[in-house]
């Protein structure tokens, strides 16, 4: 099973050294570019940043439906919006 993740599950599980639970439960985790940027770029040096770069079961996928992202950004942050849109796209 593939799951799309936003930032919070990755960071929170990494903080308690349980990030591998996602792999055990789902096998593969996909995240949109905005989530990767929040964790690895904006959070460089923080918990979770190194893991998203080195774990082969975490994949970054671009979102293609930019109009949908734009329409939802008024209510949610970009990472959350891209995670929702990416989940819709890969279903």
- What pLDDT does 55 receive? 95
Burial environment of residue 64 by CB neighbours within 10 A (0 to 12, 13 to 18, 19 or more): exposed
Neighbours of 36 (CB within 10 A): 22
Phi/psi of residue 45, nearest 5 degrees: 85, -10
- What pLDDT does 1 receive? 79
Specify the DSSP class assigned to residue 6. Answer: -
- Segment-wise mean pLDDT, segments of 10 residues, the chain, 91 residues: 92 96 95 96 92 94 96 93 96 83
pTM recorded for the entire structure: 0.92
Residue ranges per structural domain of the chain: 2-90
């Amino acid at each position: 099973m593939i799951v799309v993740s936003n930032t919070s599950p990755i960071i929170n599980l990494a903080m308690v050294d349980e990030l591998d639970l996602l792999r055990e439960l789902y096998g593969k985790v996909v995240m949109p570019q905005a989530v990767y940027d929040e964790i690895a770029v904006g959070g460089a040096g923080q918990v979770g940043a190194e893991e998203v770069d080195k774990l082969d079961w975490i994949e970054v996928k671009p979102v293609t439906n930019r109009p949908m992202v734009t329409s939802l950004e008024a209510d949610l942050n970009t990472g959350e919006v891209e995670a929702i849109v990416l989940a819709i796209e890969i279903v």
